[in-house]
């Protein structure tokens, strides 16, 4: 007895880049930390440098990746920061043959966007939707920008790659053109700068523009209130509360009442969208759903978690069982039977 539900949408992944076979710019946390140190010293951000991708064979690799996405139940995937337009060209080439296995939305990395945005395609299967900026580092590398030192590195407060001023300067032209803005910010000091910038760019119109903060992990109560007041959207990673728990306690202890507390964000009125950050976490949304519900910082009801991770406007997914009828640990035993992204050629 199968069930048809709103389809899973992943609004922050690096699926296409991973599929492209491009060698990653980092391999270990040490490599990432060195990258962040280098960027901070050079006054650039990790998404500013181009990352050329060979067009030859790219379309076939992207098609494989999108088939993989459909198999795990995704009807739409957002690529969080393309640094080469060859991805769009390859997707458009695939579109000439028909619908894609899953709908794709591209956020252009700020460096690429400043070289020239491509026009919206207007194609429901494949479109450019906005610009990705990068305000600080990561928690695992102790490079996210904090207002105080890390517990286990007390003289280190991380790196802010942007200030509110630099963000305003970079965001304004794209905001005027109507692009969605999504800024990576993990530490409270970076999140504060991003909110300062969003407030200056949009003022009272911020909620309508719905700019996003990617990750938003180490929040403070005052920042949660500001996000709710402005209508800034948190793009959270369903698996990160579970995956980061032990390391986050080592890094910042338990004196951060709003770190990874996603139900408190919801209760305060902060809009939330979700994305796996694949390949950092698994692409399979049922795996993310299990971790989001079991978040050790702040468990979430399965039906609330499922609502956050799905969007009926993007399509439907057919599952062997309704995940809400299972225990949290049993959710990953639900089988994905098929997906119907919105816009699919329907039965007559």
Q: Report, in Å, the least distance between residue 240 CB and Zn ion.
A: 11
In the complex, minimum distance from the CB of residue 10 to Zn ion, in angstroms, rounded to a whole number: 11
- Nearest distance, CB of residue 347 and Zn ion, angstroms: 37
Tokens of 8: 């899973």
Q: Which is nearer to Zn ion, 183 or 316 (CB)?
A: 183
Count residues near Zn ion (CB under 5 A): 2
Alpha-carbon gap, residue 285 to 8, rounded angstroms: 7
Of 77-85, 109-117, 186-194, 219-227, the segment contacting Zn ion by CB under 5 A is: 77-85
- Nearest approach in angstroms of CB 31 to Zn ion is 16
d(CA 219, CA 212): 14
Minimum CB distance to Zn ion smaller for 239 or for 323:
239
Site for Zn ion in 316-335 (CB under 5 A): none
CB of 80 to Zn ion, least distance (A): 5
**Residue 99 or 279 having the CB closest to Zn ion:** 279
The single residue among 58, 62, 63, 80 that binds Zn ion, judged by CB under 5 A, is 80
Residue for token pair 């709710």: 228
Shortest distance in whole angstroms from residue 97 CB to Zn ion: 29
**Comparison of 83 and 316: residue with beta carbon closer to Zn ion:** 83
Q: How far is the CB of 199 from Zn ion (least distance, A)?
A: 24
Which region, judged by CB under 5 A, interacts with Zn ion, from 17-25, 73-81, 158-166, 216-224? 73-81
Per CB under 5 A, which of residues 242..301 are in contact with Zn ion?
Answer: 277
The stretch near Zn ion (CB under 5 A) out of 20-28, 75-83, 244-252, 287-295 is 75-83
Q: Shortest gap between Cβ of 24 and Zn ion (angstroms)?
A: 12
Q: Name the residue number minimizing CB distance to Zn ion.
A: 277
Interstrand relation of 258-259 and 218-219 (parallel, antiparallel or unpaired)? antiparallel
Q: ω before 279 within 30° of 0 (cis)?
A: yes
Q: How far is the CB of 250 from Zn ion (least distance, A)?
A: 22
Which residue number, 32 or 59, has a Cβ lying nearer to Zn ion? 32
CB of 277: closest distance to Zn ion in angstroms?
A: 4
HEC secondary structure over the chain: CCEEEECEEEEEECHHHHHHCCCCCCCCHHHHHHHHHHHHHHCCCCCCCCCCCCCCCHHHHHHHHHHHHHHCCEEEEEEEEECCCHHHHHHHHHHCCCCCCCEEEEEEEHHHHHHCCCCCCCECCEEEEEEEEECECCCCCCCCCCCCCECCECCCCCCECCCHHHHHHHHHHHHHCCCEEEEEECCHHHHHHHHHHHHHHHHHHHHHHCCEEEECCEECHHHHHHHHHHCCEEEECCCHHHHHHHHHHHHHCCCCCEECCHHHHHHHCCCEEECCCCCCCCCCHHHHHHHHHCCCCCCCCHHHHHHHHECHHHEEEEECCCHHHCCHHHHHHCCEEEEEECCCCCCC
Angle between helices 188-202 and 221-230 (to 10 degrees): 20
CB-wise, 187 or 323, nearer to Zn ion?
187
CB 216 within 8 A of CB 185: yes
Applying CB under 5 A, the residues found at the interface with Zn ion are 80, 277
């Amino acid at each position: 007895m199968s069930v048809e539900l709103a389809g899973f949408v992943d609004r922050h992944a690096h699926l296409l880049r991973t599929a492209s076979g491009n060698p990653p710019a980092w391999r270990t946390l040490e490599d990432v930390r060195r990258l962040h140190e280098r960027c901070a010293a050079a006054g650039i951000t990790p998404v500013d440098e181009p990352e050329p991708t060979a067009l030859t064979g790219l379309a076939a690799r992207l098609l494989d990746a999108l088939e993989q996405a459909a198999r795990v139940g995704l009807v739409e995937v957002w690529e969080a920061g393309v640094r080469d337009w060859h991805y769009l060209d390859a997707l458009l080439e695939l579109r000439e043959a028909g619908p894609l296995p899953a709908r794709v939305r591209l956020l252009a990395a700020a460096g690429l966007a400043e070289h020239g945005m491509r026009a919206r395609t207007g194609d429901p299967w494949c479109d450019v939707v906005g610009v990705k900026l990068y305000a600080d580092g990561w928690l695992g590398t102790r490079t996210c920008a904090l207002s105080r030192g890390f517990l286990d590195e007390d003289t280190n407060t991380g790196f802010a790659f942007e200030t509110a001023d630099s963000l305003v300067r970079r965001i304004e032209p794209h905001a005027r053109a109507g692009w969605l803005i999504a800024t990576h910010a993990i530490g409270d000091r970076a999140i504060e700068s991003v909110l300062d910038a969003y407030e200056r760019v949009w003022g009272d119109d911020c909620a309508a523009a719905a700019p996003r903060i990617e990750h938003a992990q180490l929040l403070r109560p005052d920042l949660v209130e500001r996000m709710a007041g402005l209508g800034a959207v948190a793009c959270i990673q369903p698996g990160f509360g579970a995956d980061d728990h032990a390391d986050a306690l080592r890094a910042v202890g338990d004196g951060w009442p709003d770190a990874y507390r996603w139900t408190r964000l919801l209760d305060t009125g902060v809009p939330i969208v979700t994305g796996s950050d694949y390949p950092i976490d698994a692409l399979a949304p049922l795996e993310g759903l299990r971790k989001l519900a079991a978040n050790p910082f702040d468990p979430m009801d399965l039906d609330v978690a499922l609502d956050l991770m799905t969007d009926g406007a993007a399509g439907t997914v057919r599952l062997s069982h309704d995940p809400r009828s299972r225990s949290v640990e049993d959710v990953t035993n639900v089988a994905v039977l098929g997906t119907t992204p919105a816009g699919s050629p329907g039965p007559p």
